[in-house]
Structure 1
Amino acid sequence: MNALPRPQPHATPSPATPADPADPATGRAPVHPSVDASPTETSTPPSRLALSRRLGVEASDGVWWPRTADLRTEVPLLDVAIQERVHARIARIGYERGPWDDAPGRIQTSLGITHLGWFEHSRYPDHVILSLSNYQRLVLMVLPPGADEDAALARLDAASA
């Protein structure tokens, strides 16, 4: 009789990454640690994103502060940041064409392909609309890449309050 090979035992999973250290004054984890993080030379800088604690309640679900006006650079970072916070990837982005350098129709990210659609004129030109893989929709206010750092940090803090 031909015996099937025995399955090999799985390796013990590595311990989970420890949670962000809490702020001693508030007891909460940092709101947007990516802004304060100083990436190493070989790592990709994280997206500067702050989401509201109550998604879908306000007109905007958060604030995104891209480092450049290049969607091919910024969308992959945003996709990872959204996946980490909402547990769904970006399937489609709607945006106004004006502030961006290029208008690609789709972008390959580390999580998959994100489709992009742009408008020549929008009622809210400083916002992007994200359609996620779990059919959720997020509306993010976009701060210009060259925005004043103190003002941008204040917006990020306010968005996550």
Structure 2
Amino acid sequence: MTATIEPTIIQERLLSAPARLSLAPAGSVPGLLDGAWWPRSRDLLREIPTLTDALDACWGRITHVTVNPTHWPVIPRKVPVTGHTVRVGWFAAEQDPNKVILLSYAVGRLDLLVIPPQTDPAAAARLMAAATVPRGIRTAGGLMADEAISHDATGTQIREEEGETDGGAASTAGAATGVLRSALRG
């Protein structure tokens, strides 16, 4: 009897780009997050092997991954990775939808912020830096909320500046919003 391996699966694995990953400095005092991961898609079968390939060398073999199903359309029970299989679980109410938890025999547990695949590079860089702060007290959901507020404020500011050049009602509304934003920041 012969077995065939689907060539497209092998091709995809060989051509896949390295994981976009940022980890807290080694030896630093742990925070609520150990780093951030910016997957290229919402396909766990495709993304987990790339992530474990990046982590297995420095953190030991990843054996389990847990996610919140909010942002993952399909959650496989097992994912074949280089040299072994990773078991995948999910927790709807117990786990932050913006976090992935990885378990390793060598390290124990790693909590990573999951940056949505469609995030623009500048925002992803800010989030990756924020998630790797030693002794960080921000949760994954808190970091994502802060980034959303920052993004909305930047977009509002641009719209206000455009409206203020008209000299109409938009400039009055823009001034009021600017005062409110200053009060919220201060």
Contact kept, 8 Å, 1:89 with 1:111, in 2: the verdict is no
Deviation per CA, 1:33-77: give whole Å up to 9, x if none. xxxxxxxxx632000000001466100000000000000000000
> Unmatched 5+ residue regions in structure 1?
1-41
Distance 1:142 1:151, change over 3 A: same
- 2:35 aligns with one of 62, 69, 74: 62
Paired residue type of 1:139: D
Q: What is the alpha-carbon root mean square deviation over aligned residues?
A: 1.8
Paired residue type of 2:36: V
Paired residue type of 1:48: R
Question: By percentage of residues, which structure has more helix?
Answer: 2
Runs of 4+ with deviation above 6 angstroms: none
> Unmatched 5+ residue regions in structure 2?
1-13, 134-186
Aligned twin of 1:155: 127
Paired residue type of 1:141: L
Contact kept, 8 Å, 2:67 with 2:95, in 1: the verdict is no
Q: Which moved further from structure 2: 126-135 or 44-53?
A: 126-135
Q: Partners in 2 of 1:150 and 1:156 — Cα distance?
A: 10
Q: Partners in 1 of 2:64 and 2:118 — Cα distance?
A: 25
Percent identity of the aligned residues?
A: 32
What is the total number of aligned residue pairs between the two structures? 119
Distance 1:105 1:99, change over 3 A: same
Instruction: Provide the secondary structure at the position in 1 that maps to 2:86.
Output: strand
Distance 1:133 1:111, change over 3 A: farther
